[in-house]
């Protein structure tokens, strides 16, 4: 018993150590900056289908930082103010600009330089290296800029419409296309912006990179192939979703198609995409064997 009791006050001493005060101040400052951003998003963009994944990404980011907390705190004390303060100034300017003009993508993007600068100022480059993945993963909390969405949505809809028409026509279905409008039998279906798959690609990229991080494959070739495959897989999965929607409409009517679109289309998309991603990882594990390492 005498070996256990001395550890108890020592644990409390560590928990209340003055070395944690700067961390508490930094976290309080971060909360003062970004809790209003989260609150605004909760009543605005996080209520939309395109950015409804935002709260989930927030929870995932908090979990990732929690898993790396001990490595961050135990990192050598090598503060880097020459890099940290300019990086913080960049993040703060982005934050102010985003708040002033109500640009959500800029507000959320400012988290990355702000968090990185906090690590550099408090602990230095070793802490930033320990938390590199959670810091970069903050990008998935950032809503896609409207200009980027507008620029990519049109071409994606055209490609998807063309591919779906070609595949179903080859399968013997009476289908034709005019722009992004598919005509099959007596029905016409518009490949809308949501069917472009841009936001689903972004969501799958978040899930895919998290999956790669948690699996901890050591093969660089394995990781490179997985990373390069995420967007094509999302594109293929979205084609599958549109094909299913068209077939349901053709065989069961417009009401069934609309019900599917608003009900289970997104679930089908993610299940197909994740299934392909997991299968690819399993195949690469057999072809490119490598040891796993602990990611946390």
Residues marked as catalytic: 195, 241
Euclidean distance between the first and the last CA atom of the chain, given in angstroms as a whole number: 33
**Contacts by 112-116 with C-beta closer than 8 Å and gap 24+?**
112/136, 112/138, 112/139, 113/87, 113/88, 114/30, 114/33, 114/88, 115/30, 116/87, 116/91
Instruction: Write phi, then psi, for 181 (nearest 5 degrees).
Output: -105, 120
What are the Cα distances from residue 159, in Å, to 32, 153, 155?
A: 44, 10, 6
Question: How many whole angstroms separate alpha carbon 296 and alpha carbon 202?
Answer: 24
Distance CA(195)–CA(153), nearest Å, equals 9
The strand ranges marked E within 129-277 are 175-178, 181-184, 187-190
What single-letter DSSP state applies at residue 49?
Answer: S
**How far, in whole angstroms, is CA 175 from its chain's centroid?**
35
User: Which residues, in sequence order, are bridge partners of residue 182?
Assistant: 177, 189
């Amino acid at each position: 018993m005498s070996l256990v009791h001395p550890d108890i006050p020592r644990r409390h001493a560590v928990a209340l150590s003055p070395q944690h005060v700067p961390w508490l101040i930094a976290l309080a400052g971060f909360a003062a900056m970004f809790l209003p951003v989260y609150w605004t998003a909760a009543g605005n963009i996080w209520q939309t289908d395109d950015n409804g994944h935002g709260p989930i990404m927030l929870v995932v980011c908090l979990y990732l930082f929690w898993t790396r907390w001990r490595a961050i705190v135990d990192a050598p004390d090598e503060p880097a103010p020459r890099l940290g303060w300019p990086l913080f100034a960049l993040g703060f300017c982005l934050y102010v600009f985003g708040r002033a003009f109500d640009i959500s993508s800029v507000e959320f993007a400012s988290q990355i330089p702000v968090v990185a600068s906090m690590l550099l100022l408090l602990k230095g480059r070793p802490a930033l290296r320990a938390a590199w993945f959670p810091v970069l993963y903050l990008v998935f909390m950032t809503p896609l800029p409207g200009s980027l969405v507008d620029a990519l949505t049109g071409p994606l809809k055209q490609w998807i419409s063309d591919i779906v028409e070609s595949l179903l026509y080859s399968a013997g279905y009476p289908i034709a296309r005019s722009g992004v409008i598919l005509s099959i039998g007596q029905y016409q279906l518009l490949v809308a912006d949501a069917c472009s798959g841009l936001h689903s690609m972004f969501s799958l990229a978040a899930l895919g990179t998290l999956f790669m991080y948690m699996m901890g494959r050591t093969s660089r070739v394995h990781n490179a192939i997985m990373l390069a495959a995420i967007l094509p897989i999302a594109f293929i999965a979205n084609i599958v979703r549109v094909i299913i929607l068209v077939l349901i409409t053709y065989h069961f009517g417009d009401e069934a198609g609309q019900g599917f679109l608003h009900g289970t289309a997104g679930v089908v998309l993610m299940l197909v995409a994740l299934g392909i991603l997991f299968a690819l990882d399993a195949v690469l594990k057999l072809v490119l064997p490598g040891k796993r390492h602990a990611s946390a």
